[in-house]
Structure 1
Amino acid sequence: MKAITKSAFYHLKNIAKLRGLMSKQDLEKLVHAFISSRVDYCNGLFTGLPKKTIKQLQLIQNAVARVLTRTKRSDHITPVLMSLHWLPVSYRIDFKALLLVFKSLNGMGPNYLFDMFQLYAPTRSLRSLQKNLLVEPVVRTKCGEAAFSCYDVNLWNQLPEDIKNAPTVGSFKSRLKTKLFSDAFC
């Protein structure tokens, strides 16, 4: 985590020097190439991490948003993130994790992930049969709850049916981002 933050702030400092020389679109491309890609890389591994650790990544995102929009440090960051249509880091992590679950359940992910998730099949005819739920593994520790297999199953089971039953990856992404955006900012 320390290497990510150090690298991100180094690149952000250099990008900030170019603000007057480049258009906003070009700055956004640089930010995505040098900073966002590092923050998002393997962020599925960040599922279940403590809020203190995630906060470091959120500080990077906030600083990037301030540089792009020329917002003062004293101004509140939420409206800036909303105007850029950026999900906060914790929601980005959930987005990537849920996308991985969707892809693996629909045969677009690796087999070992498909084998990790089991669809809930009640022994009797229940309404929950049509809800596309996953079996939640039994865990006894906080560390176990933070594990990918448990954390993602819990997130998946909380999703509305229209998102879980999306016909394509594109529609799933769109619906999920809309839901997470409204959860984060409303």
Structure 2
Amino acid sequence: MALSFLSFNDQKTEVMVFGPSGSCDPPKMDLGVLTPHIKQSVLNLGFKMDSDFKLDSHISSVVKSSFFQLRRLTKVKPFLSQQHFETVIHAFITSRLDYCNSLYFGISQSSLSRLQLVQNAAARVLVGARKRDHITPVLASLHWLPVHFRVHFKILLFVFKSLSGLAPPYLDELLSPYTPARCLRSADQLLLEVPRSKRKCRGERAFSVCAPKLWNALPLNIRQATSLSIFKTRLKTHFYSQAFIHV
């Protein structure tokens, strides 16, 4: 690095060591000048990543900041129409839930539930529902997809953009069309190759693995969408029917 006239910023340098899955502490390693900078979680573009990919620290930060903002928004609600107040909620709350939410794929249900509590609270504040009111009809009336479906929506959006030449090359390289060994009906189903993964908790959460699985599970008419707007409309309709089938 010295030959390239580069140096570490001691105040911003963070190093994360990935060890065996499930280990509480990172493995002890001597990385020289980097050793003092080893941390269990690091911050990159506002997202907190930990070595076990549980994302607990980031989710806690999102939940805390979202509820703080929501309490502040309740004070301005009397001065805004419901339409304008919903726009404000999307700007301050939904944007936090959606930021890098594709990384939430594969996290525990308890962690997703914490994020869902934020969306539920925002919906109740918007429509003036009571805490004990069932939240599913409220979300359905607002056409808000639950957090779980929003995560899948974001990943599938990346897939469609990649297949349409609208995504960066590094994403395009992670997807391959499915080519059967012999002539089968699945050859013209616009399916993707699903690579094998050795690790369920980590490998199956990689974009190259989870994205083809989600894509192949979609109805054919969604995969055949001819434009981004048509794809988003059909995908949201599909997820809406799954999320609120009993409403």
Structure with greater contact order relative to length (CA < 8 Å, sep ≥ 6): 1
* Residue 146 (structure 1) shift: 2.3
SS at match of 1:142: coil
Which of 120, 139, 150 is residue 62 of structure 1 equivalent to?
120
CA distance in 1, matches of 2:206, 2:131: 35
Equivalence map 1:1-186=2 (5 Å): 1-143=59-201, 144-186=203-245
Contact 1:48–1:151, Cα closer than 8 Å, also in 2: no
* Residue 125 (structure 1) shift: 1.2
Computing the radius of gyration from Cα coordinates, the structure with the larger value is 2
Amino acid at match of 2:65: S
Contact 1:48–1:147, Cα closer than 8 Å, also in 2: no
Contact 1:65–1:80, Cα closer than 8 Å, also in 2: yes
Deviations 1:68-87 (A, max 9, x none): 00000111000000000000
After TM superposition, where is structure 1 displaced by more than 3 Å over at least 4 residues in a row? none
Contact 1:4–1:39, Cα closer than 8 Å, also in 2: yes
Query: Which moves more between the two structures, 144-153 or 121-130?
Result: 144-153
SS at match of 2:79: coil
Structure 2: unaligned runs, 5 residues or longer: 1-58
Structure 1: unaligned runs, 5 residues or longer: none
SS at match of 1:62: helix
Instruction: Return the structure number with greater helix share.
Output: 1
Amino acid at match of 2:130: K
* Residue 21 (structure 1) shift: 2.0
Deviations 1:138-176 (A, max 9, x none): 112222222222111111010111100100000000000
Contact 2:174–2:207, Cα closer than 8 Å, also in 1: no
CA distance in 2, matches of 1:25, 1:177: 21
TM-score (norm: length of structure 1): 0.97
TM-score (norm: length of structure 2): 0.73
Contact 1:47–1:148, Cα closer than 8 Å, also in 2: no
SS at match of 1:79: helix
